[in-house]
A and B are shown apart, each in its own frame.
Chain A
Amino acid sequence: MALREQSYLILLALSEGSLHGYGVIKAVRELSEGQVRLGAGTLYGALDRLAGDGLVIVAKEEVVSGRHRRYYELTGHGRQVLAAETTRLARLATTAQRRLSLQPGMGM
Chain B
Amino acid sequence: MTHDIASVYERRCRLLMRLAYPPRFREFRGAELLSTLLDLAEPGQRGPTMRESFDMLRAGLMLRLREHPPPWHWLLYRVFGARLPWRYRWWARDDIQGRFFVERQLGAIMLVWIMYLVWITSGLPSWAVLVMMGLTYLSARLSKAGLRRKWLAKHEFHPDGTSYHVRPRPGGEATERRPA
| Chains A and B come from one and the same complex | yes
Chain A residues within 8 Å of B, Cβ to Cβ:
20-22, 25, 39-45, 47-49, 51-53, 56-58, 61, 67-70, 72
Q: Is the CB of A58 within 8 A of B169?
A: yes
Q: Are A51 and B171 also in contact (CB < 8 A) when A43-B36, A67-B35 are?
A: yes
How many inter-chain residue pairs (CB < 8 Å) link A and B? Answer: 80
Q: Is the CB of B171 within 8 A of A58?
A: yes
Q: Is the CB of B170 within 8 A of A42?
A: no
Q: Give Cα A42–Cα B29 distance, bound, in whole angstroms.
A: 14
Q: Give Cα A51–Cα B172 distance, bound, in whole angstroms.
A: 6
- Residues in B with CB closer than 8 Å to A40 are 33, 36-37, 40, 52, 55-56
Min distance, Cβ A52 to any Cβ of chain B, angstroms: 3
Which residue in B36, B57, B63 is a CB contact (below 8 Å) of A22? Answer: B36
Which residue in B58, B169, B171 is a CB contact (below 8 Å) of A41? Answer: B58
Min distance, Cβ A59 to any Cβ of chain B, angstroms: 9
Q: Is the CB of B20 within 8 A of A48?
A: no
- Residues in B with CB closer than 8 Å to A45 are 59, 62-63
B contacts with A: majority SS: helix
- Residues in A with CB closer than 8 Å to B35 are 21-22, 67-69
Q: Is B109 an interface residue (CB 8 A)?
A: no
A-B contact pairs, 6 of them (CB 8 A): A22-B40, A40-B52, A42-B55, A58-B171, A69-B35, A70-B170
Q: Is the CB of A21 within 8 A of B62?
A: no
Interface string of B134-152 (1 = CB under 8 A from A): 0000000000000000000
Q: Is B174 an interface residue (CB 8 A)?
A: yes
Q: Is the CB of A44 within 8 A of B172?
A: no
Q: Is the CB of B32 within 8 A of A52?
A: no
Q: A39-B55, A39-B59, A56-B171 are in contact. List 6 more A-B contacts (CB 8 A).
A: A20-B36, A21-B32, A22-B39, A41-B20, A51-B171, A57-B171
- Residues in B with CB closer than 8 Å to A43 are 36
- Residues in B with CB closer than 8 Å to A68 are 31-32, 34-35
Q: Give Cα A77–Cα B62 distance, bound, in whole angstroms.
A: 26
- Residues in B with CB closer than 8 Å to A20 are 36
Q: Is the CB of B173 within 8 A of A25?
A: no
- Residues in A with CB closer than 8 Å to B62 are 45
